[in-house]
Chain A
Amino acid sequence: MAATVARATGGRAPHDGPPAGPAAGAARRPGRVRRVGLPYLLLLPALLLELLVHLVPMVIGTVMSFKELTQFFIRDWGAAPWSGLDNYTVAVDFDGPVGADLLHSFLITVAFTVLSVGLCWALGTAAAICMQDTFRGRGLLRALFLVPYALPVYAAVITWVFMFQHDNGLVNHVLHDQLGLTDKPSFWLIGDNAFVALLTVSVWKGWPFAFLIVMAGLQNIPRELYEAAALDGAGVWQQIRRITLPSLRPVNQVLVLVLFLWTFNDFNTPYVLFGKSAPASADLISVHIYQESFATWNFGRGSAMSVLLLLFLLVVTGVHLAVTSRGRRVRTRA
């Protein structure tokens, strides 16, 4: 690679004229190499970093998933015996305890992701549309709405832990002591309510991002469209339905995909809220896999589960891109 680089960068000026015999061809080649090679060369650091940070660990993780990598081999994991597809078989045997737990965790994660992404999107879009027109204090409100997104995750979630505490938490103080909505103080960090607690924190943390992106998307909708629609007698709802939402479609497609991937993979929120063993009602798959690896010291099985998760997310992303790009093509042709 270094030799090619030296040739490519040390060549002569580009030669754009038609070939005029062998001598001219020889003169043209370094120019083409340079033109074609330069983008790749400039991408090289990013590519190497990508290899180092993402791809190599992913390959190693995949290799690990075919090994019986338990505590007896972690010091020299090259010596761990190959286990073929055993780790995968155990993980997808939904009649067995390990597979059943994984399936349960997967379903919880799907439900959590759908609700969280849906609420984040709805809240973000509603807020962005409400703030489309200028009014006094808009800048301040915008800044205020973005605060949860700007806060460090750990600090913010730890604050939520305090608020959700049974005995001294703010949530119970308001819901039970002040509003009297519950018979007795509820538990939010253990038991079935943990799902609600997790969803609350996730939406609180995630919706400002949707707000930000939709707000940016709204800047691109020409004002004339609204004016024309108003002249034609369209009300606010019709304007939102017929102009705003269709114009936001390309933004929403990316936004929903990104929110989905972030939420589905979220590790920090459940880990900081619940610690190493999340309650069954909020057993998100990222923490489940962590638990499977670090609490049982069975890194082979944990890796197999990670590979399955990766495949699932690849399929979802692939389908999403295929569907949305087909939609784009159809619209372009129309």
Chain B
Amino acid sequence: MRSIRAAAAGAVTLSLALAASACGGGSATGGGSDDSPKTLTYWASNQGASVEADKKVLKPELEKFEKETGIEVKLEVVPWSDLLNRILTAATSRQGPDVLNIGNTWSASLQATGALLPWDTKTFDEIGGKDRFVDAALASTGKQGEDPAAVPLYSMAYALYYNKQMFADAGIAKPPATWDELVAAGRKLAQDGKGALGAEGSNLSENVHHAYVFARQHGVDFFTDDGRPDFTDGHAVAAVKQYVDLMAKDKVIAPGNAEYAQNQSVSDFAKGRNAMLLWQSAAANLTSQGMDPGAYGIAPVPVQSGAPGPGTQVNSLVTGINIAVFKNTDNLSGAKKFVKFMTGAEEQKILNKAYSSIPPVEAAQSDPAFATPDNKVLKETLARSAVAVPQVPAESQFETAIGTAVKELFADAAAGRPVTTQSVRAALEKAQTQMPAA
């Protein structure tokens, strides 16, 4: 009897505990407060070779911040594969970090959720003013005409990385400046049985970045002027086809690249299996893979003809990272102080050097570290011929839809199936149906 009574009492206690825990657990549901001024939680995106490497870079800086302000920053480096889902979950549950990094192309999409603190003029003034930042980077912080959802932190651009020795062996004197030259160089390289150009055919982000720049070179941008998706325009179809044809028709991308999604193309390039790579700010990545910086050259991404510039001469996205404040933070003033610290000229130099990116803060760009040949190409691209992705709420969905379409077209090309204007149009048509009705 006693044991039954004990079991019953245990059951009741457990039930009450469960009920209490189900009811509890919520906090910070308002629009930001200063309830816990001594701590901050920071989700950093994975910029370096690994999560651990990033912690090593960031920890000393966060300690510096703690010494200056007395605010302890709890750091979590979130891998790219999880970051967007983690942010969405945080937005839904309102349980998130105080400060977080976002891919700058997501700015408008995340802005639409209302989860991020808007940076109006007054808020910008608290971190030293908007005019500290370069315009190209500011263009990728949210929908035009609305207060930015985030502040630029690291800027990156695409460039053509080429293996000097392999080029010399194939008798190619200078890096290709147009796509025709790239195809010709690729064929020369392929004649020796070597890989020519690397690509990440199953990586949706890489696919959409390239497809978008090709589209801009063909004079379109996948959206109508009022922000509705327009994927099946003849120019858009031609642009995507031109990219996939590098594998399907021109044979300068090896079929195996169609299933790459884990940066295998970077590793191929570092190991001399491919002679060319189109990548964003790859120096740190290549060094970590053991490639000697003297072994590769860097040139602007090719254009259709002529030289890189604005309009149809663009040759890169403005890629990079923005830093944002979660609207539900319980340390609003601390979060702003932290953003000011991270975007300060000194920190910008240290962090962008570590990640081989370009500081979006003008005062930091003058540092000699950003005047290397690598960085000169990237800086010029950012200043002259890089373009932001459309700042529309459905941008994130656009990345997935187009990225998947290109992935499937690469799969066709790899399997030896023909990639035709019709098949490209069909893939893009399907992608468009996956977009939310505007």
Q: Could you tell me which A residues sit within 8 Å of B by CB distance?
A: 2, 5, 8-9, 13, 38, 41-42, 44-45, 48-49, 52, 70-72, 74-77, 97-98, 165-167, 187, 189-192, 275-277, 279-280, 291, 294-298
Cross-chain contact B112 with A189 (CB below 8 angstroms): no
Q: Give the residue name and chain of the B residue nearest to A165 (CB).
A: B259
6 tightest A-B CB contacts, nearest first:
A97-B433, A190-B411, A295-B400, A167-B256, A45-B14, A277-B404
Give which listed residue, A9, A44, A74, A277, contacts B88 with CB less than 8 A: A74
For window 197-241 of chain B, which residues contact chain A by CB distance below 8 Å?
201-202, 204
Q: Give 19 new A-B contacts, CB below 8 A, not counting A48-B15, A98-B434, A189-B202.
A: A8-B8, A9-B9, A38-B8, A42-B8, A44-B15, A52-B22, A74-B113, A167-B256, A187-B414, A190-B410, A191-B415, A276-B400, A277-B407, A280-B408, A291-B400, A295-B401, A295-B434, A297-B109, A298-B436
Cβ contact within 8 Å between B433 and A71: no
B204's partner among A52, A70, A276, A298 (CB-CB below 8 A) is: A276
**B12 touching A38, Cβ below 8 Å:** no
- From residue 36 to 53 of chain B, which have CB atoms closer than 8 A to chain A? none
Bound: A190/B410 CA distance, A: 9
What A residues does B414 contact at CB under 8 A?
166, 187, 190-191
Residue of B nearest to A168 (CB): B256
Interface: B430 (CB within 8 A): yes
Interface pair A296/B397, CB less than 8 Å apart = yes
Q: Is the CB of A9 within 8 A of B5?
A: yes
Chain A residue at minimum C-beta to C-beta distance from B417 = A191
Q: Give the size category of B's interface with A.
A: 35 or more
B19 within 8 A of A: yes
Residue of A42, A97, A98, A296 with most chain B CB atoms under a 10 A cut-off? A296
Q: Does A9 lie within 8 Å of B15, measured CB to CB?
A: no
B168: interface (CB < 8 Å)? no
Q: Is the CB of B411 within 8 A of A279?
A: yes
Q: Identify 30 residue pairs between A and B in the complex whose beta-carbon atoms are under 8 Å apart, listed by A's number.
A: A2-B12, A5-B8, A5-B12, A38-B8, A41-B8, A44-B12, A45-B11, A48-B18, A70-B436, A71-B393, A72-B113, A75-B114, A76-B114, A165-B259, A187-B258, A187-B259, A187-B414, A189-B259, A190-B258, A190-B259, A275-B202, A277-B204, A279-B408, A280-B408, A291-B400, A296-B397, A297-B396, A297-B397, A297-B436, A298-B436
Q: Does B390 reach chain A (CB closer than 8 Å)? A: no
* CB 8 Å contact bits of B5-33 with A (1 = contact, 0 = none): 10111011011101100100000000000
> Who on chain A is nearest to B415 by CB?
A191
Q: How far apart are the CA atoms of A42 and B14 in the complex, in Å?
A: 10
A166: chain B residues at CB < 8 Å are 255-256, 258-259, 414
**Complex partner residue of B18 from A45, A75, A77, CB under 8 angstroms:** A45
A68 CB, nearest partner CB in chain B, Å: 10
Is B91's beta carbon under 8 Å from chain A? yes
A159 to B326, CA, bound (A): 38
Residue B422 interfacial (CB < 8 Å): no
- Asked whether B69 is an interface residue with its Cβ less than 8 Å from the other chain, the reply is no
Give Cα distance in the complex from A165 to B257, angstroms. Answer: 11
Establish whether residues A72 and B256, one from each chain, have CB atoms under 8 Å apart when the complex forms: no
How far does the Cβ of A316 sit from chain B's closest Cβ, in whole Å? 29
**A192, closest chain B residue (CB):** B415
